[in-house]
């Protein structure tokens, strides 16, 4: 069975500091799997032909020595497996290369899961997993899957609440990500655990007050938008655009003119990496600035903090007594859309929700509003 190994940085995933992680890429029978290595290098200084870091600096020498050692080790493992007439596959390779007799090391599995999903899952999701791993390591530096049982979850929740001061919804999000990892490991290896530790542990979440503008408040802000100037006008403009499209802050920031295709927006959502199409109603088209080059940003977006600061000034001037942040634009879009009798399934598609129960949260808000309005008749 043909097999090969090589080491190179991922050119498609560059950090803000301009470096990329080195990966050992193993190919077995035309199937590929990558294993992240503990070095980050500038991909522009990597010689793809020689498979080495360019230059003679101490770092280059250190990296190149490590690369040669890992290539030699990986090749030796592949030869050993074949010489012993064992099935040559990734599981057999990992038993030796990752120094494990099974997939028992929880943190090693998390690292591999992250490496396997670079480019497949959003950068935000992978960053969240890294953060959860770091947080958990402070509680338990070494951890096997067998140690994660109901008592472990109870102890970890106690640690998060007492030592870290985490609120209920923070604990919920942490356990939700932990549950995802454990279930993925169990899917890959059905013999890993007899049952999920979450089978006897119920996750709790406090209701979140999803602040939004009513249709009347949205109309008011839209009608007085030209009364603002400078940075406040700019922020109000792209906030309103989000209210009429449902786009998140990062998607508005990433939005380029090539995404504006006549009467609709076509883009890949930053958080989910899902392709979506959003029709542009007249209001949202009126908010667009003069068209630029295809690769130019549509709006001049300020930092999230500055955006919320200027938005607060505009909301106060409009006489709207609500604590509104930029993300409330998305909530506003959802509630106004449902109040306009747009079907729940359509709103789900426009918001890019993978599960309709996420969208149903807004339907509950609409029902609550109806009951509140009826009280005016008393």
Q: Quick: pLDDT tens for 106-115.
A: 998 898 888 8
Q: Are 47 and 57 in contact (CB under 8 A)?
A: no
The sheet carrying 275-279 orders its strands as 260-261, 264-268, 275-279
Structure tokens at 73: 């080790």
Looking at the DSSP assignment, which residues form a beta bridge with residue 53?
A: 46
Ordered by where they begin, the domains of the chain are: 1-99 (no CATH), 101-206 (1.10.150.130), 215-377 (1.10.443.10)
pLDDT of 273: 77
pLDDT computed for residue 377 by the predictor: 38
CA atoms within 13 A on the CB side of 90: 16
Percent of the chain with pLDDT over 90: 38
Residue 202 three-state SS = coil
Q: In the prediction, which pLDDT does 362 show?
A: 53
Residue-level pLDDT at 206: 73
Convert the pLDDT of each residue in 245-300 to its tens digit: 989 899 999 999 999 998 888 888 887 777 888 889 899 999 999 999 999 999 99
């Amino acid at each position: 069975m043909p097999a090969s190994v090589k080491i190179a940085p991922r050119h498609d995933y560059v950090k803000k500091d301009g470096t990329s992680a080195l990966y050992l890429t193993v190919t077995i029978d035309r199937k590929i799997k990558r294993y992240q290595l503990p070095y980050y290098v500038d991909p522009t200084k990597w010689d793809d032909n020689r498979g080495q870091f360019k230059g003679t600096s101490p770092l280059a020498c250190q990296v190149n020595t490590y690369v040669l050692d890992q290539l030699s080790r990986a090749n030796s493992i592949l030869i050993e497996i074949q010489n012993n007439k064992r099935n040559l596959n990734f599981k057999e390779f990992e038993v030796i290369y990752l120094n494990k007799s099974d997939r028992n090391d929880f943190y090693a599995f998390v690292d591999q899961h992250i490496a396997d999903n670079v480019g497949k899952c959003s950068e935000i999701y992978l960053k969240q997993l890294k953060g959860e791993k770091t947080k958990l390591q402070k509680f338990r530096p070494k951890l096997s899957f067998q140690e994660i049982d109901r008592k472990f979850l109870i102890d970890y929740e106690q640690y998060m609440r007492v030592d870290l001061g985490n609120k209920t919804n923070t604990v919920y999000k942490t356990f939700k990500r932990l549950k995802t990892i454990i279930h993925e490991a169990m899917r890959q290896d059905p013999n890993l655990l007899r049952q999920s530790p979450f089978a006897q542990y119920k996750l709790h979440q406090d209701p979140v007050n999803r602040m939004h503008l009513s249709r009347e408040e949205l109309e008011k802000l839209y009608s007085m938008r030209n009364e603002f100037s400078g940075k406040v006008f700019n922020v109000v403009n792209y906030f309103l655009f989000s209210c009429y499209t449902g786009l998140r802050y990062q998607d508005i920031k990433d939005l380029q003119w090539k995404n504006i295709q006549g009467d609709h927006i076509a883009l890949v959502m930053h958080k989910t990496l899902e392709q979506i199409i959003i029709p542009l109603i007249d209001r949202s088209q009126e908010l667009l600035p003069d068209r630029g080059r295809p690769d130019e940003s549509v709006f001049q977006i300020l930092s999230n903090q500055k955006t919320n600061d200027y938005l607060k000034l505009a909301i106060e001037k409009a006489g709207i007594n609500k604590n509104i942040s930029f993300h409330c634009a998305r909530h506003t879009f959802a509630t106004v859309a449902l109040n306009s009798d747009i079907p729940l399934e359509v709103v789900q598609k426009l918001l890019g929700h993978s599960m309709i129960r996420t969208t149903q949260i807004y339907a509950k808000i609409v029902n609550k509003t109806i009951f509140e309005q009826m009280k005016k008749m008393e």
